[in-house]
């Protein structure tokens, strides 16, 4: 089957034709357009944080957590940029989505935008691999169709970044027109950019987009919507995950040794039918020379806006 062959090639880091990428992106859009801004997911499910183009670590993630053939996954966005295999990582997840639509939920991150990918690596990667930007454009079209959040068993809210002063209820997220480039402000922007912090009230984020929010905002959002946990990604956590606000919020980070130099471990969070949390920690793998195009270039990643 063509899809199985494509999955195998992507896992080996092999080159796909522009036509094949276009086909994958088109099929993905047809699938994603049927999903709402907030998708509903049943347990058991494994929640995964940022991937950032680290293909070989993504393969390790699947290996350590059961694999898509047997496990349901929610990916919290930031599939691309920083790492050197953004294209293969994103296309592999799209192929899995096409192959197992009920087992993979893909949420949009702040890096799934045209503006950010022009600066932080994905655009340059596509230009290096194809000599033109067509494949980048196809993928950006898919970004616009990704969901903004997910709800697990009506009790856990999954989002890439965090909360927004413009959003009190899930229905307000469902009302957003998501099929667009991420705006510079407003609810959609905040969901992808905001961060939790020890603050007493909403504060402007030092990232230049989104807000900082504290325990009061988390408690109010959980209470209003009948949730018990917000699961999000977006921030590097050296230990792979970090629970805050009496366990009402957790940050999950799934890119080990981020940017090939940060030295952090990665984690995924499995939620069982009783909503119990079980974290799996894993380390980075060093790609072997000669496997596909799996040689880490020496080019330094861009400056880190999150520092």
Residues in the chain: 307
Q: 216 near 201, Cβ under 8 Å?
A: yes
**CA–CA gap between residue 279 and residue 271 (Å, rounded):** 9
Integer angstrom CA distances of residue 292 from 10, 32, 97: 9, 29, 23
SS3 133: coil
Q: Which of 159, 58, 177 is nearest to 110 (CA)?
A: 159
Chain-centroid distance, C-alpha 274 = 25
111 is catalytic: yes
Half-sphere exposure in the Cβ direction for 229 (13 Å, CA): 21
Chain-centroid distance, C-alpha 102 = 17
Identify the active-site residue in 52, 56, 111, 160.
111
- Buried b vs exposed e over 187-217: b needs ≥16 C-beta within 10 Å? bbbbbbbbbbbeeeebeebebebbbbbbbeb
Instruction: State whether the Cα torsion 307-81-165-196 is positive or negative.
Output: negative
Just list the catalytic residues: 111
């Amino acid at each position: 089957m063509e899809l199985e062959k494509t999955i195998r090639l992507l896992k080996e880091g092999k080159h796909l034709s522009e036509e094949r990428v276009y086909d994958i992106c088109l099929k993905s859009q047809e699938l994603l357009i049927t999903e709402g801004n907030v998708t509903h997911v049943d347990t058991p499910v494994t929640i995964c944080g940022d991937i950032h183009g680290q293909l070989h670590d993504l393969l390790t993630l699947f290996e350590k957590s059961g694999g898509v053939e047997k496990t349901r996954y929610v990916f919290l966005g930031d599939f691309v940029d920083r790492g050197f295999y953004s294209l293969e990582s994103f296309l592999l997840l799209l192929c899995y989505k096409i192959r197992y639509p009920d087992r993979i939920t893909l949420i949009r991150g702040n890096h799934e935008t045209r503006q950010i990918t022009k600066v932080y690596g994905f655009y340059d990667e596509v230009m290096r691999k194809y000599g033109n930007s067509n494949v980048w454009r196809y993928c950006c079209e898919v970004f616009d169709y990704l969901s903004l959040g997910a709800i697990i068993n009506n009790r856990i809210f999954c989002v890439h970044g965090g909360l927004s002063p413009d959003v009190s209820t899930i229905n307000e997220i469902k009302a957003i027109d998501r099929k667009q480039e991420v705006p510079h402000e407003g609810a959609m922007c905040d969901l992808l950019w905001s961060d939790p912090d020890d603050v007493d009230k909403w504060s402007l984020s030092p990232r230049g987009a989104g807000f900082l929010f504290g325990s009061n905002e988390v408690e109010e959002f959980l209470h209003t919507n009948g949730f018990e946990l917000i699961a999000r990604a977006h921030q590097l956590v050296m230990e792979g995950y970090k629970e805050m606000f009496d366990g009402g919020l957790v940050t999950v980070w799934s890119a080990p040794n981020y940017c090939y130099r940060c030295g952090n471990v990665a984690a995924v969070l499995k939620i069982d039918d009783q909503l119990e949390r079980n974290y799996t920690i894993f380390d980075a793998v060093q790609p072997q020379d000669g496997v596909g195009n799996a040689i880490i270039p020496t080019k330094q990643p861009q400056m880190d806006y999150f520092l």
